Amino acid sequence: MAKRGYHHGNLRQALVEAALALIEAKGPTGFTLSEAAKQAGVTPAAVYRHFAGREDLIAEAARQGYEIFTDVMQFAYDKGQPSALASFEATGRAYLAFARKYPGHYIAMFESGISVNRTPELAAVSARARDVLERAATDLSQHIPPEKRPPASMFSAHIWALSHGVVELFARNSPGTNSPFSPEDLLESGIGVYLRGLGLVAPDE
């Protein structure tokens, strides 16, 4: 694995990039700060000028991942407009696309055991990501009478969970899992079944 080195003296970011490479290769608990330092081409002592420990380093990788994730989700939502259904479905697909394109960030965010409440900055950016999906869910449910309308936070969380499950089981080569359908087809059909069950789309849509 080649050293990435640090770019224009930005040691902090070089360490994050080193951590992302190690997370992809070894998992979030499979490397040490010393390995991250070596990957970045600096001494272990230099790491502690920026991060108190490995978890702080992973938390920063997760924060940066959520920044990208939020942008991806927002782009998908905007691309689907003015159709509420298209926007909602696009945010689900964006989850799958993000996991494939940014595996190191994805693992840091969702598989490292790092709480989104570890830092105020991480909590804020993760909340922004949730807000995009909740806004799409709110748009989609506007035609349902308020007394019959499921909370947008609930069914957007269900779609998030469905997306996450498809990624974990079928999009990341998990051992012992197989499907004759692509992850994209599984996710799209799952979202369709769910939305029809809630009465959010017509049976023939």
CA 17 distance to own-chain centroid: 17
User: What Å distances lie between residue 194 and 123, 132, 165, 189, CA to CA?
Assistant: 28, 19, 14, 9
Q: Are 166 and 96 in contact (CB under 8 A)?
A: yes
The predicted pLDDT at position 9 comes to 53
Looking up tokens 């994209």, which residue turns up?
184
The predicted pLDDT at position 121 comes to 92
Q: Model pTM?
A: 0.84
Q: Which domains does the chain have, with CATH numbers?
A: 11-47 (1.10.10), 59-197 (1.10.357.10)
The predicted pLDDT at position 149 comes to 80
pLDDT (tens place) for every residue of the chain, 205 residues total = 344 444 445 888 999 999 999 999 998 888 888 899 888 888 888 888 888 888 999 999 999 999 999 999 999 999 988 888 888 888 888 888 999 899 999 999 998 888 899 999 999 999 999 999 898 888 888 877 788 788 888 888 888 898 888 888 887 665 556 677 888 888 888 888 888 887 776 665 5
Q: Reduced to 3 states, what is the DSSP secondary structure of residue 10?
A: strand
Whether residue 203 is preceded by a cis peptide bond, meaning omega within 30 degrees of 0, is no
Instruction: Determine the Cα–Cα distance for residues 109 and 66; give it in Å rounded to an integer.
Output: 7
